[in-house]
Amino acid sequence: MTDIDKTAEPADTPVAGAEAIKAIPVRHYGRYVAAVIAIAILVAIIYAFGQGKINWNAVPDYFFDDRIMTGVSKTLLLTVLSMLIGIVGGILLAVMRLSKNPVTSSIAWFYIWFFRGTPVLVQLFLWFNLGLVFEYINLMPFYKDYWSNFMTPLLTALLGLGLNEAAYMAEICRAGLLAVDEGQTEAAHALGMSHSKTLRRVVIPQAMRVIVPPTGNEVINMLKTTSLVAAVQYPELFRYAQDIGQNSGAPVEMYFLAAAWYLIMTSVLSVGQYYIERYYARGSSRQLPPTPWQKVKANMLSLGRPKGAVGA
């Protein structure tokens, strides 16, 4: 392989004595026009907000307010727990859908059809209002209580978000499992590995490469979707920001504040996702891309050296 590459390479270097190309590049006037328009619109928006009576000081004043901090932690808690329900449920549903048992696979199909086909806000309200039709809950020998004691706002939120998420995660997991080459399963079976071991040691680690990126997106999505549960009386970041805004007379400022917190959290999650993706990419590409920190180090080492000297 490498030998062939080497022999092919000299073709790219110009023949000695040949005239170098010095051409006048094409001017893309359309790009200048587009840039000017975009900047003009941006300036107009900034100017408009400058004209608005926005009390920007309210944002830093309340940024680390106790209620906001509680809201942030509850938003994170809700995200983590709902995703946990979503991932566990999603794996279960994916396995059910891929199983050879027609009963389990059709039940999984039906679940996904229902939960993906209805808006999550409708599902949240449905869980929230089940108390209107059920007086108490009775899990025969284990648990018995009034419905209103059982279905707390937290449980409503978790069921609404988690069960909905499970349907999406199921499709992500299924796609990941199907993306692994059949030859991998055959090779593992030929070595005498059982079905479960093949799945655990060979198929799932490779499926993860396909599963992780969309799952990261789902986490970020979930973090934002948690703001919907304000509608079912569970207080989290958005709800607290709204409350403060109404009491302090600075509602718009508090929405900016909430947006800033959501941005901070989603940005941190994106960084985490990058490293997880990198971990599961091992073996799939010849050279892993450097981490940002490695890039910084490499750049510092290359300071003072001519550009291009650090090839690797």
- Residues near other proteins (CB under 8 A): 1, 181, 183-184, 186-195, 197, 201-202, 205-206, 280, 282-286
Closer CB to other proteins, 232 or 276, in the complex: 276
The C-alpha atoms of residue 31 and residue 99 are separated, in whole angstroms, by 54
Which pairs with CB-CB distance under 8 Å and at least 24 residues apart come from 240-243? Answer: 240/67, 240/68, 240/70, 240/71, 241/68, 241/71, 243/67
Closer CB to other proteins, 149 or 284, in the complex: 284
Closer CB to other proteins, 67 or 197, in the complex: 197
Closer CB to other proteins, 46 or 187, in the complex: 187
Helix residue ranges per DSSP H, the chain: 2-8, 29-51, 58-63, 66-98, 102-117, 120-129, 147-150, 153-179, 182-190, 195-197, 204-225, 237-248, 251-280, 292-302
Closer CB to other proteins, 107 or 193, in the complex: 193
The C-alpha atoms of residue 94 and residue 172 are separated, in whole angstroms, by 8
Instruction: Report CA 51 to chain centroid distance, whole Å.
Output: 36
Q: Which residues contact 177 (CB under 8 A, 6 or more apart)?
A: 94, 98, 203, 204, 207
User: In the complex, what is the shortest distance from the CB of residue 211 to other proteins, in angstroms, rounded to a whole number?
Assistant: 13
User: In the complex, what is the shortest distance from the CB of residue 99 to other proteins, in angstroms, rounded to a whole number?
Assistant: 14
Phi-psi map region of 108: left, alpha, beta (phi>0 left; psi -120 to 50 alpha):
alpha
User: In the complex, what is the shortest distance from the CB of residue 215 to other proteins, in angstroms, rounded to a whole number?
Assistant: 18
Provide the token pair at 72: 């942030």
User: In the complex, what is the shortest distance from the CB of residue 290 to other proteins, in angstroms, rounded to a whole number?
Assistant: 17
User: In the complex, what is the shortest distance from the CB of residue 280 to other proteins, in angstroms, rounded to a whole number?
Assistant: 8
Closer CB to other proteins, 215 or 242, in the complex: 215
User: In the complex, what is the shortest distance from the CB of residue 178 to other proteins, in angstroms, rounded to a whole number?
Assistant: 17
Rounded to the nearest 5°, which phi and psi values hold at 134?
-115, 130
Closer CB to other proteins, 51 or 285, in the complex: 285
Q: State whether the Cα torsion 271-272-274-279 is positive or negative.
A: positive
Amino acid at 30: G
User: In the complex, what is the shortest distance from the CB of residue 180 to other proteins, in angstroms, rounded to a whole number?
Assistant: 10
